[in-house]
Amino acid sequence: MTIGSSRDMRCIIIIPCLNEERHIEPLIEKLRQALDDLDARIVVADGGSTDRTREIVKGIAERDPRILLLDNPKRLQSAAINLAIETFGDDYDYFIRIDAHGDYPADYCQALVQEAGATGADSVVVAMRTMGFSAFQKATAVAQNSKLGNGGSKHREGAKGHWAEHGHHALMRIAAFRAVNGYDETFSHNEDAELDYRLHKAGYRIWLTDKTAMTYYPRASIPTLFRQYLGYGRGRARNILKHRSMPSLRQMLPLAVVPIFIGAFLAILNWIAVIPVGLWAAACIAYGFWIALGQKNPYGPLAAISAMVMHFAWSMGFWMEVFSFRNRRVAS
Closest CA to 234 of 182, 181, 177, 194: 194
Axis crossing angle, helix 108-119 with helix 24-38, rounded to the nearest 10: 40
Please give the DSSP secondary-structure letter assigned to residue 43. Answer: E
Distance CA 74, CA 187 (A): 12
Residue 160: count of CB within 10 angstroms of its CB: 8
| pLDDT at residue 331 in the model | 53
Measured distance CA(158)–CA(139) in Å, rounded: 19
Instruction: State residue 189's pLDDT score.
Output: 86
1, pLDDT greater than 70: no
Mean per-residue pLDDT of the chain: 89
Let me know if domain 3-219 sits in CATH 3.90.550.10: yes
Number of neighbours of residue 315 by Cβ within 10 angstroms:
22
Distance, in Å, from the CA atom of 84 to the CA atom of 283, rounded to the nearest integer, reads 45
pLDDT at 327: 62
pLDDT band at 157 (very low <50, low <70, confident <90, very high): low
Domain boundaries, the chain: 3-219, 228-331
For residue 102, give the 3-state DSSP assignment.
Answer: coil
Q: How many CB atoms lie under 10 A from the CB of residue 94?
A: 27
DSSP assignment of 132-166 equals -SSHHHHHHHHHHTSHHHHTT-HHHH--SSEEES-
Predicted pLDDT of residue 6: 56
pTM: 0.84
Q: In sequence order, what DSSP letters do the residues of 255-275 get, joined into one string?
A: HTHHHHHHHGGGGGT-GGGGH
Check pLDDT > 80 for residue 134: yes
Task: Answer for the pair 25, 42: CB distance below 8 angstroms, yes or no.
Answer: no
- C-alpha 169/C-alpha 183 separation (Å) is 12
Highest mean pLDDT among 8-17, 117-126, 145-154: 117-126
Task: Report the alpha-carbon distance of residue 37 to residue 39 in Å, rounded.
Answer: 6
User: Is pLDDT above 60 for 307?
Assistant: yes
Pinpoint the alpha helices (H) of the chain. Answer: 3-6, 24-38, 53-63, 77-88, 108-119, 135-144, 147-150, 154-157, 174-179, 191-201, 222-243, 249-255, 257-263, 275-294, 300-331
DSSP per-residue codes, 190-214: SHHHHHHHHHHHTT--EEEEEEEEE
pLDDT at 320 over 90: yes
